[in-house]
Structure 1
Amino acid sequence: MSRVTLQTIADRVGVSRMTVSNAFSRPDQLSAEMRRTILAAAADLGYVGPDPSARALARGTTGAVGVLLTESLGTAFLDPIAAAFFGAVAEELAPTGMAVVLLPSTSSEGMIPARDIPMDGALVYGCAGDYPAVDWLVRRRLPLVFVDGEPVAEASSVLLDERHGARLGAQHLLDLGHRRIGILTMNSTEPPGWAPDPAAAGSGFVARERQIGWVETLEAGGVTPVVMEVHDNAEPFVSQGARAILDGPERPSAVLCFSDLMAAAVVHAAEELGLRVPEDLSVVGFDDSPLARRLRPALTTVHQDFAAKGKAAAAALTSSIARFRAGEAPAPEEHRILVDLVVRDSTAPPRPA
């Protein structure tokens, strides 16, 4: 059987080759009835469409965007926060017809996805600007949008109002009357010679912003907090940090936590020590993940809108790609996602001395 081409279909329908091409690549140029006729003829002839690689070469675009993750793909999909973000990104990109390519931070057998996979731009999710995979994306001169991480030059960013969220949590504890307050957080700076786990990369920026908000607010209220930093927002680090901050000689009456996961570890450590939450210890998380609502007592936490963050990131990236295709200079923008405090059952006034 001879090879079916666009001209074969054009001859069958009685239209030009360009009209057939438009039916696949520019459907807005045809009436709905004409497009259905052409696609029906193509299906009858066994034609599945133009070769994607050839079409990408002709257009100078791949029709795909990357999402660079700090951890393995399997781990990312188990994270409800990341899953909510990915879902919002996919929903926002759906009308554009662009595909989403997930880029792991690690490489295998010499392949570096950030270097090798064709894409028109990328979202950098939680990665520091000096992360090796980010360096490859920058060297490729792709349009980039940084999410939850400090951006590089000429790249847009989508960030939570981290300091404001931290201030809300700290002020809540001060208003309840707490004066012995601890902070359990990620490393805001990396110790010399310490190589972080890929899942922790990029957290320094967020940790610094939150710590500034907590400390400034507490010190303005006359409180000097006890700060405990851990290297990773995962076990066993969070549990070790939680036990350490509660086992010290000056046990706090309340703890502000970098994440809901850390807050859960503090609640569990308190239970092991025979402390009741919130009667003996108040706990504040950050994120308002599903864990915050499942925890008992339900967790007071700083709420972030994952859907708004994902949609803002996708919109910023499509805008950057459009400027790039038009030959226009980058116009980096910073999008701040508002946060608010959700007060639940894990906080209460301190017990009388």
Structure 2
Amino acid sequence: MARVTLQSIADRLGVSRMTVSNAYSRPDQLSADLRDRILAEAAALGYRGPDPAARSLATGTSGAIGVLWTQPLRLALSDAVTAHFLGALADELAGDGLALTLLPPTVPAHDVPMDGAVAYSSSAKAEAMQWLHGRGVPVVGVDMEWPDGPHVAIDDRGGARDAAAHVAELGHRTVLVLTGGAAGDGHGVPDERLAGWIDGLGGIKPVVGFVDPYGDNSAAIADLLRRVRPTAVLCVTDLVAAQTLAVAADLGLDVPGELSVVGFDDHPVAAGLGLTTVAQDVDAKGRAAARLLRQAMAHRSDAVAPEPADVLLPVRLVVRRTTGPVS
């Protein structure tokens, strides 16, 4: 029996080889009926699709987009905001026939075939980032400083400024800031939010505490609440804010009567807790990252193609019941 190929399927259906190829790699280019006819004919002939290895050799591409993380995937994907971003990124790239390859810190980036990469809240100094830069792989940074390529960010500084100004306008003068990581570590987000909080407080000097955004910070938060005795707490994420609310309840502190709490992200838990927070559009961020990467890959293939420009997405303060006037 003769070997079934894309061309032999095309000949039987009276279409081009590219049309058959698109049925597998770029289904959005075909009508649903035509794609169904092609796949049905291929199945009848026993054809299961193009060989990925052969495609890679023929085109010089892998069809894969790497996504770099600084945290173990178990922690990163347990966060609803991160998972939502990943879903939006995957949806936007699916129309190009591109699949995501998730790269936790333990996987060497230089060993994984990919046509481009998205670095999510990583350090530009990380070894994986340097390897990708050396290989010439187009990289888009998200929520991080990335001087060697385009990046997508939300207005962290502006959002933090609005949150801090909100508690200052309510009369709070003893303010605790709970931020993630150490300032100046190259991630960008902690520095931007801290600068915004300080600016928004307008001369009120906060006490700064460092927490693990993915960890249990209950003991550290309880210690800070006892020692600092703040009337307001500004938190790096809604999950840290949720921990703060739980600790406040354990300590018998009334929210917002004795303690106002503000989060960041508008995580799905925020509305249920009545948490005042800074809302970001995670779907827009994922899709913007995909579009930037598409442009960066096109520019790499053709220098005449326009270079992608950085994207800064707006945020907004959402006031709920966890903030109130200082008592």
Q: Give the structure-1-normalised TM-score.
A: 0.83
2:13/2:38 contact within 8 Å kept:
no
- Over the matched positions of the two proteins, sequence identity in percent amounts to 47
The gaps in structure 2 that reach 5 residues or longer are none
Q: What pairs with 1:337-352 in structure 2 (closer than 5 Å)?
A: 337-351=313-327
The question of 1:233 aligning with 2:213 is answered yes
Q: Tell me the distance in 2 between the aligned counterparts of 1:100 and 1:315.
A: 14
Aligned twin of 1:159: 153
Aligned pair in 2 of structure 1 residues 39, 173: CA closer, same or farther (>3 Å)? closer
Q: Tell me the distance in 1 between the aligned counterparts of 2:33 and 2:322.
A: 61
2:9/2:20 contact within 8 Å kept:
no
Q: What pairs with 1:183-262 in structure 2 (closer than 5 Å)?
A: 183-189=177-183, 204-218=187-201, 220=202, 222-230=203-211, 232-236=212-216, 238-248=217-227, 250-262=228-240
CA RMSD for the aligned pairs?
2.6
Amino acid at match of 2:214: A
Q: Tell me the distance in 2 between the aligned counterparts of 1:34 and 1:100.
A: 27
- Give a deviation string over 1:181-211, Cα, whole Å, max 9, x none: 1111123337xxxxxxxxxx86x42111100
- Give a deviation string over 1:276-302, Cα, whole Å, max 9, x none: 11011101111110121232xx11011
Aligned twin of 1:79: 79
C-alpha deviation, 1:272, in angstroms: 2.0
- Give a deviation string over 1:54-92, Cα, whole Å, max 9, x none: 122212222221111222223332210111101111121
Aligned twin of 1:315: 291
Q: What pairs with 1:1-353 in structure 2 (closer than 5 Å)?
A: 1-6=1-6, 9=9, 13=12, 21-26=17-22, 39-107=39-107, 112=108, 114-153=109-148, 155-189=149-183, 204-218=187-201, 220=202, 222-230=203-211, 232-236=212-216, 238-248=217-227, 250-295=228-273, 298-328=274-304, 331-351=307-327
C-alpha deviation, 1:330, in angstroms: 7.7
The gaps in structure 1 that reach 5 residues or longer are 191-200
Q: Secondary structure at the match of 1:97?
A: coil
Larger Rg: 1
Q: Between Structure 1 and Structure 2, how many residues are aligned?
A: 323
Amino acid at match of 1:313: A
Q: Tell me the distance in 1 between the aligned counterparts of 2:34 and 2:262.
A: 60
- Give a deviation string over 1:190-238, Cα, whole Å, max 9, x none: 7xxxxxxxxxx86x421111001111221x2x412111223x21333x2
- Give a deviation string over 1:309-349, Cα, whole Å, max 9, x none: 11101111111111112245882421001011000000000
